[in-house]
């Protein structure tokens, strides 16, 4: 399943869920700009480590969960995919 297909499925969900994905993506984009990083595995790890209130201190569990989620859904690693993965957590955090 491609990210675009998965995102289309997300758009069929409730408005708050779609909004949560959008907010998590904006947060990640803003953080990348502020840190001068480009999205990738190293930036993703630094983002998770930089937000213990959001992900806890066992950052490796979030990263491993993301990889399992991607594998299960056949999703390519992109900023949008990671934003979708963290959206429920991001929504609770806000």
Secondary structure E strands in 37-91: none
| Cα distances (Å, whole numbers) of residue 49 to 22, 44, 63, 87 | 21, 9, 10, 17
Domain that holds residue 44: 3-93
**Predicted local confidence at residue 93, as pLDDT:** 64
Number of domains in the chain: 1
**Separation in Å, CA 45 to CA 18, 73, 89, 92:** 24, 21, 16, 20
What is the torsion angle, in degrees rounded to the nearest 10, for the CA atoms of residue 84, residue 2, residue 78 and residue 47?
A: 30
> What are 4-26's pLDDT values in tens digits?
555 555 444 445 588 888 899 99
Q: Assess whether pLDDT exceeds 50 at residue 68.
A: yes
Q: What is the pLDDT of residue 36?
A: 97
Q: What is the pLDDT of residues 55-65, one digit of tens each?
A: 888 899 999 99
The percent of residues in the chain predicted with pLDDT above 90, rounded, is: 59
């Amino acid at each position: 399943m491609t990210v675009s297909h998965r995102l289309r499925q997300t758009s069929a969900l409730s408005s708050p869920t779609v909004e949560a994905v959008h907010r998590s993506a904006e947060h990640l984009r803003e953080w990348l700009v502020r840190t001068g990083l480009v999205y990738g595995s190293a930036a993703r790890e630094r983002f998770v480590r930089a937000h213990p209130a959001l992900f806890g201190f066992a950052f490796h569990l979030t990263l491993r969960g993301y990889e399992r989620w991607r594998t299960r859904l056949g999703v390519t690693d992109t900023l949008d995919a990671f934003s979708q993965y963290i959206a429920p957590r991001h929504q609770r955090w806000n």
